[in-house]
């Protein structure tokens, strides 16, 4: 069940590889027997996605296949959801859905008004204007527009068509955010990508309201360039200064006892 984030564990270093910036992830909805890992080194103009057969293969750097994307990516805000990679096409505000099995782009669609090309990145830069994420409720995208004065917009997306179903203006300036992630319909924002970061802000889409939080977040290698929640595993995937990490999350579940004797 869903709950409110109350804590994040110390990080577990899975591997040290690649450049300072990048992203890595597993599929957010596949059966637990599927332990494939995808790896995308770098934050712009990249096209090479490595698919490892399992987490242990990823740790050892063995048993992978390579996908060469038809369009290069921007940023590190990619996500794998139900066999497809969702990412931002370089030098555009276009969202791309690439299907791994058919090795083809199934759909691409512009995000109306969304800034790109370091117009509205996170505080670390890196063309991180557009950030895809998945939680228990499905596919989301975080970005901002001139109309929203650079404040974070979170939009629910149709994973098949990439249409925006609904959007919320959080009021939080994106350039002041280190990174962000969704859990149970709530957007959590860190106040820095550097050492001393904490989870500082939470926006609740179900009530269109926000609160300030003070959840410690141990930034072991002092430069986070990717942070994503995986609802299937209940962990945060992180790329931190050339290290691939996971954090366990603690959720507080509110139990409804109304009517109980």
CATH code, domain carrying 19: 2.120.10
Does residue 258 lie within any of the structural domains? no
Alpha carbon distance 64, 80 (integer Å): 16
What pLDDT is attached to residue 1? Answer: 76
What pLDDT is attached to residue 32? Answer: 85
Does residue 59 lie within any of the structural domains? yes
Does residue 259 lie within any of the structural domains? no
Please state the φ and ψ torsions of residue 57, each to the nearest 5 degrees.
-65, -40
What pLDDT is attached to residue 68? Answer: 98
Does residue 260 lie within any of the structural domains? no
What pLDDT is attached to residue 90? Answer: 98
What element of type H or E holds 56? Answer: helix 55-60
What pLDDT is attached to residue 253? Answer: 83
Beta-carbon neighbour count of residue 77 at 10 Å? 30
Does residue 99 lie within any of the structural domains? yes
Query: What predicted TM-score, i.e. pTM, was given to this entire model?
Result: 0.96
**Total domains present in the chain:** 1
Structure tokens at 174: 């994106």
Structure tokens at 187: 């957007």
Beta-carbon neighbour count of residue 9 at 10 Å? 13
Which distant-in-sequence residues (6+ apart) come within 8 Å of 12 by Cβ?
245, 246, 247, 248
For tokens 């109350």, the residue is 6
Q: Give how far Cα 40 sits from Cα of 1, 14, 21, 217, 243, Å.
A: 31, 15, 9, 24, 13
- Sign of the dihedral through C-alpha 68, 70, 76, 81: negative
Which structural domain range is residue 74 located in?
A: 4-252
Q: Do 43 and 75 touch, CB atoms closer than 8 A?
A: yes
Pairing relation of β-strands 73-81 and 64-68? unpaired
Does residue 63 lie within any of the structural domains? yes
Mean pLDDT by 10 residues, the chain (261 residues): 94 98 96 93 97 97 97 98 98 98 98 97 97 98 96 98 98 97 98 94 98 96 97 97 98 62 36
Nearest CA to 123 among 73, 174, 172, 171? 174
Does residue 234 lie within any of the structural domains? yes
Strands (E) in 90-208, as ranges, are: 94-99, 104-110, 131-135, 138-143, 151-157, 164-173, 180-183, 186-190, 198-204
Does residue 101 lie within any of the structural domains? yes
């Amino acid at each position: 069940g869903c709950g409110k984030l109350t804590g994040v564990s110390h990080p577990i270093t899975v591997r040290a590889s690649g450049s300072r910036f990048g992203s890595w992830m597993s599929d957010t909805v596949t059966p637990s027997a599927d332990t494939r890992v995808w790896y995308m080194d770098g934050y712009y103009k990249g096209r090479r996605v490595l698919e490892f057969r399992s987490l242990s293969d990823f740790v050892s750097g063995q048993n992978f296949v390579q996908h060469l994307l038809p369009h290069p990516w921007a940023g590190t805000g990619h996500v794998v959801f139900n066999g497809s990679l969702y990412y931002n096409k370089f030098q555009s505000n276009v969202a791309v859905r690439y299907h791994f099995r058919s090795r083809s782009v199934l759909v691409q669609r512009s995000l109306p008004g969304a800034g790109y090309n370091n117009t509205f990145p996170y505080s670390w830069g890196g063309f991180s204007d557009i950030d895809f994420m998945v939680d228990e409720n499905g596919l989301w995208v975080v970005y901002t527009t001139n109309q929203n004065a650079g404040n974070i917009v979170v939009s629910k997306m149709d994973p098949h068509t990439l249409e925006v179903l609904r959007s919320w203006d959080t009021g939080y300036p994106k350039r002041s955010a280190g990174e962000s992630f969704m859990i149970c319909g709530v957007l959590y924002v860190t106040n820095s990508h550097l050492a001393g970061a904490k989870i500082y802000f939470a926006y609740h889409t179900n009530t269109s309201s926000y609160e300030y939080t003070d959840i410690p977040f141990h930034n072991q290698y002092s430069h986070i360039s990717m942070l994503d929640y995986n609802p299937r595993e209940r962990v945060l995937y992180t790329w931190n200064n050339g290290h691939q990490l996971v954090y366990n999350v603690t959720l507080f579940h509110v139990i409804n006892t109304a009517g109980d004797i």
